[in-house]
Amino acid sequence: MGSMVVRLVAAVGLAALCFLGCAISSCDGQPDYRAALANSLLYFEGQRSGKLPPDQRVQWRGDSALADGQDHGVDLTGGYYDSGDNVKFGLPMAFTVTMLAWGAVEYARPLALAGELRHALAAVRWGADYLARAHAADETLYVQVGEGDSDHSCWQRPEDMDTLRTAYSVDASRPGSDVAAETAAALAAAAVAFRRLDRAYSAMLLRHAEQLFRFAENHRGLYHNSVPDARKFYPSSGDEDELIWAAVWLFIATGGAEYKAFILGDGNAGGVQSALSWDNKFLGAQALVAKLILDGKLPDSGNPAAMKQSLEQFLCDVAQHGGSAVAKLSPGGMLWTQPWNNLQFVTSAAFVAAVHADHLAAARASLQCAGGGAATLPPAQLLAFARSQADYILGANPGGMSYMVGYGARYPARVHHRGASVPSIKYSPGKITCKGGFEYFSRSSPNPNVLVGAIVGGPDGNDRYNDSRGNFQQTEPSTVTVAPIVGVLARLLHN
C-alpha cells in the first residue's frame, strides 16, 4: 500500500490527492463513484498537448508539441493525444469532446455537487479550443498533427518527441465531411455546455460549428481519402452518422429550422446499431432525437420515430430484455463487442442507457421490447445496466481488478502509454531518444507514472486480462473510452 501511495503522489502531486478520495481502495466494498469521477477527469490532464496551464494537477507531465501547425502558419497547439501515442487525430478527438460536453450538459448538477463541474468544463474547453483553432478558415479544417508510422516507430514521452509533426487538413478540394461534421457536433455540444456560463465563448464555438456543418454538407467525401495517413489508424466508415449527429446538436443549440428539416428528412436513420463509437455516431443521434420526441420538439413519426425505435431496440438488446437480445455479455457480465479496446463500447453503451433512462423517467415513460412477447423495460432497469457496466470496470469482475488506473486496490500497472511508461521529464530531464525509450517499453516493472483515470482496453470475452505493455489491444487507454464514463459516474452519484 505504501508504494502505491508514493506512485499516486508522483502521478498527481500532493495537493491533488484530496481529489482522489477512496481511489486507493473502495471505502466500504462498494464502488466509490466520486473518487472514480475525479480520476476520470484527471486523466484528460494527463493527455494534454501544448503549453500546460498553471492549474495543471498531473505534475509528471510537461509542455509538449509547442510548434504544432508552424509548417502551415497556423496555431495547432493544444488538444489531446488520443491514446498511448503522441499523434493528434481529429476524428477521435472531436468525438471525445462531444461526449465530454454531452455529459456536462446532462449531468451538470451532480458534477457540480461533486465539485467536478469546473474540471469537466475545463476538459471540454481544452479540446474545444483546439478544434476551433484547427478550423482555420470557413472551408479549411486541420484534422491531424503528426505522422502515425513515424510516431509508432518511437517510444518517447511527448515532451521529448522529435518525430514529424506534419499538419494535415481537409478543404473544398480535399473533402472530409465526416470529420468536419463531427467537429461541428463537438463545438455545438460544447456551446450548449457553456451557454449559461460564458455566452461569448459559447457563441464563438457555435459560429465555428455552423460553418463546419455547411462545409460538410457542401463538400462530401471521407477524410481518410484526403489524408491517407489517417486511414491506417482511424479510417471512417461513412459520413451520414456524423451529419445527422451534428444536425441534432445544432438543433439543440439553436432551434434552427434548417437543422430540424435535416433531421426530419428522408435520410439515413441508422437502423439498429451495435455500438456508439468514434466512427459511428448513429446511436448517439438516436438517443438525442428520442429525447426531443419525449420533449415534444420533434414528431414521433417519420425519420425521428425510426431513430427512436432503433435506439430502443439497441437498449433492449444490451439489457438482455424481451427475449430477443443479440448483444453478448462476458461470463462476468461485461458487454462484449470486439477484442481491441472493448471497454470503449462498454462506456458509451452505459452512457446511452443512463441518459435514456433519465429521459424516460422525466417523461414518466418506459419502452417496450419486442421478441419473445412484448416486455416493458423501465428506466430503473436501464440505469441498473449502466451501473453494472461501470461497476465491472471499477472492479466488480471475475479478475477482481479495476480497469481504471489509479482506482481500487488493484489496477493495470503496465499501461501501453509512452508518457506513463517513461520516467517523467520533471524527475529525469535528460532527453530520452526515439529508440532509447524502448528500453522502458520492454521492462516488466510497473510504469513509473500512474496515468490516473485512464481506462484500458480491458479483458477479453471470457474476462481474461494480460497486464503487459506489449498487449496494446487490452492495455492501451483512450480518450474515447474515458469521455463517456464521466457522465455515467456523475449520474451514479445522483440517486
Q: Which residues are catalytic?
A: 416
Name the CA radius of gyration of the chain, rounded. Answer: 21
C-alpha cell at 195: 451557454
3-state class percentages of the chain: helix first, strand second, coil last, to nearest 5: 50, 5, 45
DSSP bridge partners of 336: 328
Q: What is the CA 401 to chain-centroid distance, rounded?
A: 22
Distance CA 109, CA 456 (A): 28
Sign of CA pseudo-dihedral 46, 352, 267, 248: negative
Q: How far apart are the first and last CA of the chain?
A: 32
Burial class (CB in 10 A: 0-12, 13-18, 19+), 434: middle
User: Which residues, 6 or more positions from 444, have their beta carbon under 8 angstroms from its beta carbon?
Assistant: 414
Q: Where are the alpha helices (DSSP H) in 295-378?
A: 302-318, 343-362
H-helix or E-strand spanning residue 268: none
Helices (H), 198-239: 199-218, 223-226, 228-231
Grid coordinates belonging to 263: 433531421
Question: 252, 288 in Cβ contact below 8 A?
Answer: yes
Count of CB atoms situated within 10 Å of the CB of 375: 15
Rounded to whole angstroms, what are the CA distances from 177 to 54, 91, 180, 423, 481? Answer: 36, 11, 5, 40, 24
Residue with cell 450548449: 192
Is residue 417 within 8 Å of residue 443, measured between CB atoms?
no
Q: Nearest to residue 477, comparing CAs of 433, 427, 419, 399?
A: 419
Residues 6+ apart with CB under 8 A from 468: 414, 475
Cell numbers standing for residue 401: 481488478
Q: Are 91 and 82 in contact (CB under 8 A)?
A: no
Phi/psi at 118 (5° precision): -65, -35
Three-state DSSP state, 88: strand
Q: All 3 cell numbers of residue 354?
A: 443512463
Cα(271)–Cα(283) distance, integer angstroms: 9
Q: 180, 457 in Cβ contact below 8 A?
A: no
The DSSP code for 72 is G
